[in-house]
């Protein structure tokens, strides 16, 4: 069984968020990510935002070291 993750450190933000989340299913992860994005970053829960989050999911677990941000 694969795990999936999203790492806020990969996206530049004003808050310099260092949260990385992972889950066993994409469905579980998207709900956690949407709640975090809404409550911490002020994003709205829209179909377009959910699609963007789904595209950003990666298989595995987040790295310990922060990824380089472009």
pTM, two decimals, is 0.83
What per-residue confidence (pLDDT) applies to 15?
Answer: 81
How far is Cα 70 from Cα 55, in angstroms, rounded to an integer? 18
Residue 29 and residue 70: Cα distance in Å, rounded?
24
The average pLDDT across 2-10 equals 92
pLDDT at 22 over 60: yes
pLDDT greater than 60 at residue 70: no
Contact call for residues 56 and 41 (beta carbons, < 8 A): no
Residue 63 pLDDT level (bands cut at 50, 70, 90): confident
Per-residue pLDDT, averaged over 5-31, amounts to 90
What's the confidence (pLDDT) of residue 13? Answer: 74
């Amino acid at each position: 069984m694969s795990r999936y993750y999203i790492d806020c450190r990969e996206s530049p933000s004003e808050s310099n968020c260092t949260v990385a989340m992972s889950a066993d299913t994409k469905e579980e992860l998207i709900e956690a990510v949407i709640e975090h994005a809404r409550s911490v970053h002020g994003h709205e829960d829209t179909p377009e935002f959910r699609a963007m989050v789904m595209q950003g999911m990666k298989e595995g677990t987040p790295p310990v070291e922060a990824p380089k941000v472009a």
